[in-house]
């Protein structure tokens, strides 16, 4: 029998080739799984799922400027610092926070009250609304009788809006040392000459001594500030007021209940 050496030589490489093909076929799924798992892990890292924390930088908030204080001319006669405070003497400045509590009862609810503010520009007559704002009127009468208002300047005057006074510091930050409830009544800021207490910003109480006189109708003030009186004469004096003008004296007196508006001021 003749030997066939080439058959053996041929068959061995064929087996190796078959073995190599089988190995490659078995590695294919593994490589695919590795690629898929690697892709998932990459997505988890990028998306911030791995470990519950994000690897992306946290955006930095853009700083914003603090809001500027609202000026008095914004139809809010809040008590606050004045840009150009009027000058006051040390004696008047010492009246700031003189009292520790609201005053005792000084007014008779059966009477009517008027007041006269004597300024360096002329006199201003007021009718006081003690029935609608009894605590505000009682405080005004008490401080007047104590001489608290004498010599105080108008620390803020905004044409077409209000003229404010009653602050012993003449800066908008002072007061008698006590505050009062907001006695909101049916009176409205419908015309020039309405008189009301000021209040500190963000406060639900009125300042015990600071008050303003409107120079025009101010419907935006309604329901926010306690009106306790109105000008019955001397509105031309009010319209001439400037920052630094002074209340030389303030006096309060009783009037006839039958004709409260017809009374004339005491000399």
The overall pTM is greater than 0.75: no
262's tokens: 């017809």
Question: What span, in angstroms and rounded, lies between the C-alpha atoms of 170 and 87?
Answer: 7
The ranges of the chain with pLDDT < 50 are 1-24, 45-76, 81-83, 262-267
Question: What span, in angstroms and rounded, lies between the C-alpha atoms of 47 and 44?
Answer: 5
Half-sphere exposure of 166 (CA within 13 A, CB side): 27
Sort 58 into a burial class: Cβ within 10 Å, 0-12 / 13-18 / 19+: exposed
DSSP 8-state symbol, 246 = B
The number of beta carbons lying within 10 Å of the beta carbon of residue 152 is 24
Task: Tell me the pLDDT tens digit for each residue of 30-46.
Answer: 656 556 666 665 555 44
Res 69: pLDDT: 31
Res 6: pLDDT: 45
User: Among the residues of 100-164, which ranges form H helices?
Assistant: 134-145
Of all helices (H) and strands (E), which one includes residue 113?
A: strand 112-119
User: Among the residues of 86-147, which ranges form H helices?
Assistant: 90-93, 134-145
Question: What span, in angstroms and rounded, lies between the C-alpha atoms of 109 and 240?
Answer: 34
Q: Cα(first)–Cα(last) distance of the chain, in Å?
A: 160
Identify which of 137, 148, 121 has the alpha carbon closest to the alpha carbon of residue 235.
121
Sort 81 into a burial class: Cβ within 10 Å, 0-12 / 13-18 / 19+: exposed
Task: Tell me the pLDDT tens digit for each residue of 127-147.
Answer: 999 999 999 999 999 999 999
Res 30: pLDDT: 62
Three-state DSSP state, 5:
helix
Question: What span, in angstroms and rounded, lies between the C-alpha atoms of 64 and 59?
Answer: 15
Domain residues of the chain, as ranges?
8-52, 77-262
CATH topology classification for 77-262: Cyclophilin (2.40.100)
Identify which of 1, 152, 14, 171 has the alpha carbon closest to the alpha carbon of residue 85.
171
């Amino acid at each position: 029998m003749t030997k066939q050496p080439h058959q053996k030589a041929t068959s061995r490489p064929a087996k190796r080739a078959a073995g190599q093909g089988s190995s490659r076929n078995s590695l294919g799924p593994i490589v695919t799984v590795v690629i898929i798992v690697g892709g998932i892990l990459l997505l988890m890292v990028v998306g911030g799922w791995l470990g519950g924390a994000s690897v992306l930088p946290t955006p930095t908030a853009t700083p914003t400027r603090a809001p500027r204080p609202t000026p008095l001319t914004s139809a809010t006669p809040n008590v606050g610092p004045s840009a150009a405070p009027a000058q006051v003497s040390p004696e008047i400045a010492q009246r700031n926070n003189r009292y520790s509590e609201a005053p005792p009862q000084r007014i008779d609810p059966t009477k009517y009250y008027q007041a006269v503010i004597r300024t360096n520009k002329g006199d201003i007559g007021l009718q006081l609304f003690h029935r609608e704002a009894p605590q505000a009127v009682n405080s005004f009468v008490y401080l007047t009788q104590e001489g608290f208002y004498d010599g105080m300047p108008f620390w803020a005057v905004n044409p077409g809006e209000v003229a404010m006074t009653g602050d012993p510091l003449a800066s908008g930050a002072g007061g008698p040392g006590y505050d009062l409830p907001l006695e909101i009544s049916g009176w409205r800021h419908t015309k020039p000459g309405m008189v009301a207490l000021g209040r500190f910003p963000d406060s639900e109480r009125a300042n015990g001594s600071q008050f303003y006189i409107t120079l025009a109708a101010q419907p935006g003030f309604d329901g926010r500030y306690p009106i306790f009186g109105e000008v019955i004469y001397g509105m031309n004096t009010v319209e001439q007021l400037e920052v630094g003008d002074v209340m030389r004296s303030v006096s309060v007196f009783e009037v006839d209940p039958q004709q409260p508006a017809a009374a004339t001021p005491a000399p």
